[in-house]
Structure 1
Amino acid sequence: MYDYLIAPFAEFDFMRRALVGVLALGLGAGPIGVLMMLRRMSLAGDAVAHAILPGAAIGFLAAGLNLYAMTIGGMVAGFTVAIGAGALARATQMKEDAALAAFYLISLALGVLLVSLRGSNVDLLHVLFGTVLALDDATLTLIVSIASVTLVVLAVLWRPLVMESVDAGFLRSVSRAGAPSHLVFLALVVLNLVGGFHALGTLLAVGMMMLPAVAARFWTRDLTMLVGLSVVIASASGVLGLLVSYHSGVPSGPAIILVAGGAYTLSVLFGPVGGLLPRLVPRHHLEA
């Protein structure tokens, strides 16, 4: 048991770095995924994750695989698309999901093209799928800092963020915190996707955010429990994915997301809140 669960982290420094990275991602992305689910923005997270790609690619063209250049570029691109899609939806008859889909396709194609102009296939794979087993001190500090900022902001603004997620119109009618809360939420989404981008790549970053949240929804209706369970599932998926990757030799990023996908599948089947098998169990008359 020690050889399978503990030894990889005890013996190898790169595994310990990856462990800290995925735990930090789980702490920050878990609650954000729950808020996105409450807002019915699950697919929007995927669009914003891909929107990061052209900004990161421009940073790559300017400075190579430089952490700060790619981070700043990704943040600028993510904010531009997240805010631009909403503004376009309000200025035209296009729905926001359609605007995000258009931005998503354009961003993905543009980002791949820009990276291909200067980089190799290895660089492209690095950008698309991340390198969670090759996190250096600077990248790990960035991911942990993003998780810390996320938790502090959520602790301070939790009530307006939840209210804006559940009933934005009511919040705007009783408070001026509606628009600022929405901007703060978008900022947290972009920040966590940028952190996930460095570890899991632009194609998989949103998986650490959304799969644990939707899996947790099948186990509880309580919001506090939902957030806590989402963090637990995200963190456990990261740890188990790293172990699967280490022992089987498969890429670590896809392994982590597939483990999270397995948690989602089990939740769909066995979750007491809307799961398939519990719904087949006969209930007493008038039982909820």
Structure 2
Amino acid sequence: MSSSEVQLRQLLSHGLPAVNTAGCRFSQVQGLTGESWRIEGDGIHLLARQQTKDKYALGVSRCREGSVLKQAGQGIGPQVLLQTPGWLILEWLAGDKVSDSVFLAFNETGKLAALIVQLHQQPLSGYRLNLQGQFARYWQQLDRRRLTPTWLRWQQVFMQNRPPQPLMLAPLHMDIHSGNLLVQGQRLRLIDWEYAADGDIALELAALFRANQFSPAAQQSFLRHYVRQGYAGLPQLLAQVQRWLPWVDYLMLMWFEVRWQQSGDRAFLRWGDALYRRFCLPFHTQAT
């Protein structure tokens, strides 16, 4: 039995005494940002998410995650059962996994937009997303051998310039893709709220488009459905998404680099290679 499992069993016995973990099976859940624990037993289906140094280095706060879920995740994400400085205990959401093709189909039918509109209409959590704070944290963890003078200049650009003024503040998930979507009957549910916080709705959409490599047609389809139910000004929303795209690209580059440092897995470098080339080329070759 690992030390984390021992710690987790003690936490549950004190924090959730009604949950009898005797005979429960504890198994690690692997993901891009590390491990969580699935707890299964007689009538018990839980997910335990630990606050670790690596998670903190990536900007993950279980305190923020739990608060956003409590405030904005009702009916969209999992229920929070217990929250401590070191752990977040959630219900384990059951449902059908979503393939990339089904994810794109949900975009075409408007189901994806409806889910995100529902999220964006929830009350604010009080935790404002701070991209520049993320950039500063990530910068300290980069491999100095990969830094270039041009990259330093980009860091200065993003740190010294103000982010776009929000069109509308709302709770954001900030990691919406097929792997974080579940189907429960007629409902869609979102899991993995590690990066959730309050921010501009257009930032969420820029991250959605980039992370899922939406084609221009897929972006137009999403926005058409979104403005019918959410923010009504399509030209303003489209222009705001475009303003956020460089910020999202830079965030993704930094995240890939930090994950490579943490894991040693060069797949993160391959995934970020196009971004690396873009931001490390001389400024005069960059698109304005």
Q: Shorter-normalised TM-score: what interval?
A: under 0.3
TM-score, with length taken from structure 2:
0.24
Q: Which has the higher strand share?
A: 2
Q: Which has the higher helix share?
A: 1
TM-score, with length taken from structure 1:
0.24
Work out which structure has the larger RCO, using CA pairs closer than 8 Å and 6 or more positions apart in sequence. 1
